[in-house]
Amino acid sequence: MKVTLLQHTPDPEMAVALAARLCYSPIGIDELKERLSRSDISAFLDKIMSLGHQSVLEHASFTFGIEGISRATSHQLVRHRIASYSQQSQRYVTHTEQFSAVIPPSIAGRPDLAARFRSQLKALHDTYAELFEAGIPAEDARYILPNAAETKIIMTMNARELLHFFGLRCCERAQWEIRAMAVEMLRLVKGVAPTIFRDAGPGCVAGPCPEGTMTCGKIVEVRKRFKEMYV
């Protein structure tokens, strides 16, 4: 898996702070911008986020390039509807060579099962290739491709939706692949918007565990890991 922060709103924290200040100020935007210092921005962001004034976070957006994830994970990802997606097409990108696939660690760690898994992947590819060579359109031959097939996707989300996304997908109860992807996304955005994402992560980082009786039971460990996340 490879996750890259392709681009983002220039100075995202300035954009958010400026939008928030504008709501409460009679002066013009240019003057507001001149008055905002770095310390003001950090302090003001802390205040508005503690008050739950999160609509202003929608002025900052982040675009990620994500490669080497399974179709199973991309199907989970696109359920987050307040985002924009562009995904590699199986209609127009053919797999005449052996397609790449993601093997879950629970299977990869068991040689006997991993061998059977790879054997099935090869059989699926061989059938796909036979269909394609027989003149079946790629858009129909792809029906035989598995959820394990790798895909690539470019995704854009605003900061408010990212906080929601991290709360769900960085959680220990999220599936391992989308959790690994979300954690790497969080590491990347913390580097460019540290105040906005300071308390980001699973729901238990900034409050009680939202999973109730389904809690992973590792709240202290999880909080420590996300509070100490490197950027």
Question: Given strand 150-158, what is the order of strands in its sheet?
Answer: 2-8, 61-70, 150-158, 84-87
Percent above pLDDT 90 for the chain:
78
Q: Is 38 an annotated catalytic residue?
A: no
Question: Between β-strands 61-70 and 2-8, what pairing exists: parallel, antiparallel or unpaired?
Answer: antiparallel
Residues 207-227: tens digit of each pLDDT: 999 999 999 999 999 999 998
What is the C-alpha separation between 154 and 87, in angstroms, rounded?
Answer: 6
Q: Supply 58's token pair.
A: 């929608």
pTM score, two decimals? 0.93
What residues are designated binding site for dUMP?
76-79, 87-91, 142, 169
- 48, 56 in Cβ contact below 8 A? yes
pLDDT band per the 50, 70, 90 thresholds, residue 230: confident
Q: Which among 160, 143, 168 has a CA at the least distance from the CA of 49?
A: 160
Q: Supply 150's token pair.
A: 């790798």
Residues 88-103: tens digit of each pLDDT: 999 998 877 788 999 9
Please pick, among 71, 110, 116, 169, the residue that the annotation labels catalytic: 169
What residues are designated binding site for FAD?
55, 79-81, 87, 158-160, 164
What residues are designated binding site?
55, 76-81, 87-91, 142, 158-160, 164, 169
Average pLDDT over residues 185-193: 97
Fold of 2-85+151-227: Gyrase A; domain 2 (3.30.1360)
| Residue ranges per structural domain of the chain | 2-85+151-227, 99-148
